[in-house]
Every structure is written in C-alpha cells, then in structure tokens.
Chain A
Amino acid sequence: AQSVTQLDSHVSVSEGTPVLLRCNYSSSYSPSLFWYVQHPNKGLQLLLKYTSAATLVKGINGFEAEFKKSETSFHLTKPSAHMSDAAEYFCVVSDRGFKTIFGAGTRLFVKA
C-alpha cells in the first residue's frame, strides 16, 4: 500500500529566504515520486520527478528535491523564494504508473 504525508499544511516565508516543504511516503515498491504545483484557479504543473535515478532531483523554477530512502522522505527545497512561488504544492507517489496518490498539499505563502 502507498501513502504520502505532507507534514505542513501551510508554510510562510519571506521573499529571498529558503523554502522547505516536507514530504514523507510509504510504498511497497520502489516508488516514483513527484512534486506538483497548483497556482490559484489553475491546473497542476509538474515541478520535478524522481524515478530511481539520481537521488537529488532538480526541477523547474529553481526547485529541487532529495530522495532519502532511509528516511522515506522527498522534501522540496528552493534557496530563495520569489513572490510568484506562492501556490499549493503537492507531493505525489506512484506505483508503476497506474495509481498516483496525492498528499494533502502544502500552501506556500511568500511575504514581501
């Protein structure tokens, strides 16, 4: 069985400071893991994905995530937040493509 837990429902940072959005997962298989972003009243856009290659994954807009099997974590980071990063972020685990499980989401607020 798979599950994914996003440890924070809301994160607030100041513009220019680092971002950390936390995600833990469980999976019976070697998982594929993704981070998606959803801006207000928009669809979902893929930020980055891990599919058993390099454990440090770089995505779009300066985001990256590190897969840590020992900690079953896949936290999303960005060195310096921008106002345009304010959005809802979803961590996703997938088993071989047929079933994807979304985390509950983390709302990122960026203060000027």
Chain B
Amino acid sequence: DTAVSQTPKYLVTQMGNDKSIKCEQNLGHDTMYWYKQDSKKFLKIMFSYNNKELIINETVPNRFSPKSPDKAHLNLHINSLELGDSAVYFCASSLGTGQGTTEAFFGQGTRLTVV
C-alpha cells in the first residue's frame, strides 16, 4: 500500500492553463505539506496543513491554492500556469503536531512541465 500517493505523476500543460495535483496519505498523519523542487534539486516548502488548517504559507504566488477537504488529503491547484512553475512537486505528511517532530513521508512527486 502506498503511504503517500500523488496524481498525476507527470503533467504537461500550456501556459495560462489551470491544473490540479492531488495528494492522499493513508498513514493517519495530522500534517501534510507541499514542496517544490526546482531544476537544481533545491527543495522548498510551499504549504503546510495541520488537521485541515493552513499552518505555513511560504511566499507562494496566490495562483497556488492548496485545499484540504480532510486531513488525509491535500490538493494543490494552480491557476494561470507560467513557464517558471515547471518543477517537481512533492506532497508529504508527518505526525508533527508542534509537540514533537517526526519524519515526513514523501510521495513520488509530480513532474509539471509548462510549455
């Protein structure tokens, strides 16, 4: 069973389109994240949700809107896609609750290519 699953794995789309990436975790974790990995492999946190509440929003353009319908899901919607949005997006989850820290479990990533 896949612990953190993202769909789609690959996404090629034209500039200006709107797209969504879905993420689900079956680990019972309270916290979920979205990370962006650029072409130089640098990973940067975008959002963090804890029990469906937004905890971290790291200077991300408002074209990016996360949505968490329940604590097992954190979807990422991107409006008006730009060339610079091309990257690999990773979803992750952890038990982190502010009282203790555990490791994050990552999905396999979604490679987004904007043409």
| Chain A residues engaging chain B, CB cutoff 8 angstroms | 32, 34, 36, 38, 42-46, 49, 51, 88, 90, 94-102, 104-105, 107
Flag if A32 contacts B41 (CB, 8 Å).
Answer: no
Flag if B56 contacts A97 (CB, 8 Å).
Answer: no
Which residues on the B side are within 8 Å of A104 (C-beta)?
Answer: 40-42
Within the assembled complex, what's the spacing in Å between the Cα atoms of A94 and B48?
Answer: 13
Query: Which 5 interchain pairs have the tightest Cβ spacing?
Result: A97-B96, A32-B101, A102-B43, A44-B106, A43-B108
A97 and B44 in contact, given A32-B101, A43-B106 (Cβ under 8 angstroms): no
Flag if A96 contacts B98 (CB, 8 Å).
Answer: yes
Within the assembled complex, what's the spacing in Å between the Cα atoms of A99 and B31?
Answer: 10
Within the assembled complex, what's the spacing in Å between the Cα atoms of A49 and B41?
Answer: 21
Contact of B45 among A43, A88, A99 (CB under 8 A): A99
A51 and B101 in contact, given A43-B108, A97-B31 (Cβ under 8 angstroms): yes
Within the assembled complex, what's the spacing in Å between the Cα atoms of A102 and B33?
Answer: 13
Within the assembled complex, what's the spacing in Å between the Cα atoms of A79 and B29?
Answer: 34
Within the assembled complex, what's the spacing in Å between the Cα atoms of A104 and B99?
Answer: 27
Query: In the complex, what's the smallest C-beta–C-beta distance from A111 to chain B, in angstroms?
Result: 21
